Amino acid sequence: MLSVLFLMATTSKPRPPQRFGSVLGLKGEKLDEYKMLHAAVWPTVAGAIRSVNTRNYSGCLRQMPDGNHYLFSYLEDTRSDLAGHRRKLAANPEVKKWWSLTDPRQQPLADRKEGEWWASMQEVFHQE
Amino acid sequence: MLSVLFLMATTSKPRPPQRFGSVLGLKGEKLDEYKMLHAAVWPTVAGAIRSVNTRNYSGCLRQMPDGNHYLFSYLEDTRSDLAGHRRKLAANPEVKKWWSLTDPRQQPLADRKEGEWWASMQEVFHQE
């Protein structure tokens, strides 16, 4: 009985969604290819992202004053373990195939934290 | 009758919220002051932002590879006229006072579009 309650507490209890902002460089010469890929994300990849509880996921592009192009992502997640999500996604063959197309077109920030691909940002305000 | 219908169509019809990503530089030496201000946004300013239908509004900070600090904002809005919102907010004395504190700590991007303070970004993907 106790173990059932424990299981319920650890797996079923809904947590309020948390917000995550991240940033990644994109290689300028691969920009059009990157945008084309993301105009039609594979349903298998979209499904895998949903399966790790990621919601309201957007990516916005901007050329910054250093002349380089950066992609900023915003997502909401009911769990805080983004690194764990990435490990789970990495085990999915379709996601692996997708990343083999997207990774070479990306330029992750050199000073990202250990284990990050997308460099996390610090939320300084939020209003519902 | 026609004018009443027109009024309903232009003022009452709910539109699905749209997403807006924007970016702005922050002056490095003013960073701590900026974060302190945003840790306790004035209720009058928060109310004014809500009154122009802005929802789910977040700001994320990151030092970028050029060494400068940038603030990335994500918001949802049921109307697409962000410039109109800014004009409406600018007429609010409390918002004016707030902006007199925040503007000198910000460094808007030189290549932002005419009429912009926050430089708009291009959404390249979204998943609910």
Chain A residues in contact with B108 by the CB 8 A cut-off are: none
Domain presence at residue A26: yes
Pick the residue of A27, A116, A125 with the most B CBs within 10 A to test the interface with B by mutation: A125
What are the Cα distances from residue B14, in Å, to A14, B20, B54, B77? 29, 18, 13, 11
For residue B91, the domain's CATH number is 3.30.70.100
Q: For residue A104, what is the DSSP state?
A: G
Residue A51 belongs to a domain:
yes
pLDDT at A15: 67
Total domains in the fold of chain B: 1
Answer yes or no: is B120 within a domain.
no
Disruptive mutation site among B72, B101, B102, B106 for chain A (greatest number of A CBs within 10 Å): B72
Which residues on chain A are in Cβ contact (under 8 Å) with B127? 41, 46, 49-50, 54, 56-58
In tens, the pLDDT along A74-102 reads: 999 877 677 778 888 999 999 999 999 99
Q: Can you tell me the distance from the alpha carbon of B79 to that of B86, in angstroms, rounded to the nearest whole number?
A: 12
Per-residue pLDDT, A78: 78
User: Which pTM value belongs to this model?
Assistant: 0.85
Report the complex ipTM. 0.84
Question: Per the domain annotation, does A20 fall within a domain?
Answer: yes
Which chain A positions have a beta carbon within 8 Å of B110's beta carbon? 65
Report if residue A122 sits inside a domain: no
pLDDT per residue, tens digit, chain B (128 aa), is: 445 444 444 454 556 788 999 999 999 999 999 999 999 999 999 999 999 889 999 999 999 999 999 999 999 987 767 777 888 899 999 999 999 999 999 999 999 999 889 999 999 999 99
Range of the domain at B49: 15-106
Assess if residue A112 is contained within a domain: no
Mutate which: A60, A70, A98, A106, vs B, most B CBs within 10 A: A60
The residues, any chain, with a CB within 8 Å of residue A59's CB and separated by 6 or more, are A38, A71, A72, A73, B123, B124, B125, B126
Beta bridge partners of A57: B127
- Give me the half-sphere count of Cα atoms (radius 13 Å) on the Cβ side of residue A102: 21
pLDDT per residue as tens digits for the range A33-68: 999 999 999 999 999 999 988 999 999 999 999 999
Report the mean per-residue pLDDT for chain A: 88
Look-up of token digits 């460099």: A119
Q: Is residue A1 part of a domain?
A: no
Q: Under an 8 A CB cutoff, do A23 and B125 touch?
A: no
**Pairwise CB contact (< 8 Å): A38 & B62:** no
Q: Is B51 on the interface with A (CB under 8 A)?
A: no
pLDDT at residue B80 in the model: 65
A80 belongs to a structural domain: yes
Q: From its phi and psi, is residue A84 left (phi > 0), alpha (psi between -120 and 50) or beta?
A: alpha
Residue of A nearest to B72 (CA): A72
Contact A105, A33 (CB under 8 A): yes
